[in-house]
Amino acid sequence: MRDNERLSWNIFLRFIVSNLMILFPALVGSVAAYILASRTMFEVADNIARIQLERTAADLDLRFQDFEKAVTALSSDYEVNWYLNHPGGFTGAELYHTRRVSRRLSSLHLGMEFLERIFIYLERSGLVVYENGFAPYDLFYTTLFEVEGYSAQMWLSLMGEVNARELPSFFPGSYKVSGGHYVPVLFFLRSLGTGTYRRGVLVAIFNKELLARRLSPLPESYGGGVMVVDGGGRVVVSSGVPLPVEEVRGAMREGRKEIRVGGERFKIYSHRSGFMDWHYIAVVNTKKVNAPLSSARGVWLLLVLLGCVGGVSFAYGVAFSNSRPLSRIVRRIPQGVGGSFRGLTSVYQEVEEALVHLSERAHELEAESDRKNRLFRDYFFQILLRGGYEDREIWRKDAERFGIGFLSGRYLVIAVGTSPLEFGGMGAEALDQVEALLEQRAGEGEHCLRMPSGILAVVKHLPGGGECRREVEEWVRTSLEGLPERLSRLLLFGVGSPVEDPFLLPLSFGEAKAALEAIPPEGRTSIQFYEDLHPAPLGYWYPLDVEEALIRAVRGGNRDLLVSLLSDLWRENFQERTLVGLELQNFFLALRGTMLRVVNENGPPSPDILALLEAPPRGGDEEEGIRWVTDVFTRILEMRNREKRSHNETLALQIEGYLRDHFDDPSLCLSSIAERFHLSESYLSSFFREQRGEYLSGYLLRLRMERAVDLLVHTRMPVEEVARRCGYTNVSSFRRAFKRMFGVSPHRYRDEHAGSSISQ
């Protein structure tokens, strides 16, 4: 047993030495960090103060810049401009609809905590629209608004000057609040409109006291303050600066970073803002800044020593805990049976087997991830090749979301099918084998997928320019070599024309299908290029696949695809051919038939489109005719897009109404809502976010929390009952959700915001 005891002791020593070796670099690093930090601590404190000032300035800049963007958007609003240009004499309905403008102003007012008031003066009508309503200027100035040192006429003249300059004005002043006293504020005046169409002024009033509070916390804790100076040298905001402003500015002009006053030293920090050329200046007391550093250095040294002692104790405890099971195993090994290390070897083998199992599981998960990525790519290319993307932005976002990148160069589509006369076509296993082989042959930026029609579509990348026929034929030859002879005899290849823009791959796919279908069943050729289908430019050119592509482009609202197809029609019929007389007239009549087919899908066309359809070009001017074709197709496309947007807005309103009526239902979830509106969960989620700018779950949570606040503030209802009425079956889940949104528990929120009238 002595050998076993010695082995157990050796195991313990091995663990404790290993733990100490692991902790040794950390302990040495802590001591080195203490030495270095002691030297740089003051510089760090200096940087903290400077960074805090820059962050505060950046935060205010961002808020004011967001405000300017909102004001710019407001100045471009149709309703605002309508009221700006109205000469006056509003009807009751027109005055009532000013509430829409007031609502926009109210959202700006609520979005900035230091925005005291905001209104628009309509110069032509003399009306003032503010965040809560409207009033004539003469009544508004004295009753609802008054500036110290300005009469109504003087303030009107000031707004006229701002409107004439077309430059925003930002200056301090005093504004009368309820109670009759004046408070210091900042005025922001900006003209609305451009050039000779400047018809009004937007006036925003910012509370200087609230603005100063956002600047003051760090400087005040260091015995100082902060101030903001504009480009003209005026002090915009000042909070707790312990020195005269001129003395601080004089030191800055001389390039000094410190000012000595009596026995105190003050450090100056400055930051130049990009907004209105403001200059942020902070002054802190260096004595108060440095006082905590010495204490912190002593505490740090104590922590380093405690860390060393704790590290050794921790190493001992972990070594004892980890070695104890192995020591017990070693003590139970009979002497002379299998050697002293037999038990240890079995333990490590079990660990190794577990690691091997985890490795195999990781490979399985990786393969599953590859399968999911393949499904996503197939989904993307299915939509793309069928022309399902309305515009490039949606197409680009989907490509980024699915991790699909397109290389520079041209692309074409190869449609792969089978001869119907050979063995009755291929079975599913044979088609899977062909698809797997073509996927292996696909290079970077290429993809192979199975279309719903049963054919395989290969998206082929052509890195170089010029003729691509030889490259495609070589690819087909090498692909056939990797297949059994029976399968290679079955395969047929239709090749579409190359496109410079991957967004136009639906054109190449349509051509590839047409080429594949054009291969005669009894023919000996296995590859057909679309460009070989029309060798002689006789008569007008308007094949069936082009007509179907035109219809898909209009249905899907794909303007780029429509323009490309019309360009192809122009090139083939008026550059490669010469159409005159009856042929030209028949060409435009064929296009008119396509237009009627599309426009009658959703009922009778509108009168303006019907008038265009009934007046096709009669003469021999092909340019006038193609302009007519482009105009009609574009109007039909815009009409379909409007119908789609109207349908989307109606559906979004229906979903919102359903959520408002059923948010208290605990079973309400994404799947139940999707089932109610006959949509898939993924489409419903993406649709609602696209239409309303927020997730559906976030909107539902907001409805429930608004109802919870109303019940907590205006009733004595128990929190459990409030949770139930807001759609929660678990009160703990309700408390967590409430605290995440408001930062406090429901009980505390009720205590802080209890209403004056509470009902049972």
pLDDT of 575 higher than 60: yes
Do residues 565 and 609 touch, judged by C-beta distance below 8 A? Answer: no
The phi-psi region of residue 239 (left if phi > 0; otherwise alpha if psi is between -120 and 50; otherwise beta) is: beta
For the residues 192-221, what does the mean pLDDT come to? 76
The pLDDT confidence band at residue 293, using thresholds 50, 70 and 90, is low
Burial 259-270 (b: 16+ CB within 10 A, else e): beeeeeebbbbb
Do residues 120 and 129 touch, judged by C-beta distance below 8 A? Answer: yes
Other CB atoms within a 10 A radius of the CB of residue 433 amount to 16
DSSP 3-state of 85: helix
What does the alpha-carbon distance between residue 157 and residue 147 come to, in Å, rounded to a whole number?
13
pLDDT of 502 higher than 70: yes
Do residues 193 and 84 touch, judged by C-beta distance below 8 A? Answer: yes
pLDDT of 201 higher than 80: yes
Per mean pLDDT, which range of 204-208, 536-540, 663-667 is the poorest? 536-540
For the residues 93-114, what does the mean pLDDT come to? 87
pLDDT of 727 higher than 60: yes
Tokens standing for 261?
Answer: 């006053």
For the residues 520-542, what does the mean pLDDT come to? 69
Tokens standing for 27?
Answer: 């302990």
For the residues 718-738, what does the mean pLDDT come to? 93
The pLDDT confidence band at residue 291, using thresholds 50, 70 and 90, is low
Do residues 165 and 194 touch, judged by C-beta distance below 8 A? Answer: no
Other CB atoms within a 10 A radius of the CB of residue 589 amount to 11
The pLDDT value given to residue 338:
42
Burial 181-199 (b: 16+ CB within 10 A, else e): eeeebbbbbbbbbeeeebb
For the residues 160-177, what does the mean pLDDT come to? 79
Q: CA 147, 150, 155, 156 torsion: positive or negative?
A: positive
The pLDDT confidence band at residue 739, using thresholds 50, 70 and 90, is very high
pLDDT for 112-144, tens place per residue?
A: 888 888 999 998 888 999 988 999 998 889 888
The pLDDT confidence band at residue 523, using thresholds 50, 70 and 90, is low
pLDDT of 424 higher than 60: no
pLDDT for 591-602, tens place per residue?
A: 877 887 777 776
Tokens standing for 725?
Answer: 């009425």
The pLDDT value given to residue 403:
82
What does the alpha-carbon distance between residue 476 and residue 497 come to, in Å, rounded to a whole number?
16
pLDDT for 242-264, tens place per residue?
A: 677 777 777 777 777 788 777 77
The pLDDT confidence band at residue 713, using thresholds 50, 70 and 90, is very high
The pLDDT value given to residue 351:
40
pLDDT of 748 higher than 80: yes
The pLDDT confidence band at residue 736, using thresholds 50, 70 and 90, is very high
The pLDDT confidence band at residue 345, using thresholds 50, 70 and 90, is very low
Q: Which of the two residues, 610 and 745, has the higher pLDDT score?
A: 745
Percent of the chain with pLDDT over 70: 79
Q: Which of the two residues, 535 and 570, has the higher pLDDT score?
A: 570
Instruction: For the chain, report the end-to-end CA distance as a whole number of angstroms.
Output: 79
Report the range out of 165-179, 639-653, 704-718 with the highest average pLDDT.
Answer: 704-718
The pLDDT value given to residue 745:
93
- One-letter amino acid at 308 equals C
pLDDT of 746 higher than 90: yes
pLDDT of 728 higher than 90: yes
pLDDT for 150-164, tens place per residue?
A: 998 998 888 888 877
pLDDT of 297 higher than 80: no
pLDDT of 437 higher than 60: yes
pLDDT of 632 higher than 60: yes
Give the sheet arrangement for strand 169-176, strand by strand. Answer: 133-136, 127-130, 115-122, 200-207, 182-192, 169-176
Report the range out of 199-213, 216-230, 379-393, 627-641 with the highest average pLDDT.
Answer: 199-213
Q: Is 483 exposed, middle or buried (0-12, 13-18, 19+ CB in 10 A)?
A: middle
Q: Which of the two residues, 342 and 91, has the higher pLDDT score?
A: 91
pLDDT of 18 higher than 60: yes
The pLDDT confidence band at residue 2, using thresholds 50, 70 and 90, is low
Do residues 526 and 476 touch, judged by C-beta distance below 8 A? Answer: yes
pLDDT of 72 higher than 80: yes
Q: Which of the two residues, 7 and 119, has the higher pLDDT score?
A: 119
Q: How far is CA 191 from CA 169, 172, 198, 484, in A?
A: 9, 18, 7, 77
Q: Which of the two residues, 193 and 634, has the higher pLDDT score?
A: 634
What does the alpha-carbon distance between residue 278 and residue 56 come to, in Å, rounded to a whole number?
13
- Residue 504 φ/ψ, nearest 5 degrees: -95, 20
The pLDDT value given to residue 340:
43
Do residues 271 and 57 touch, judged by C-beta distance below 8 A? Answer: yes
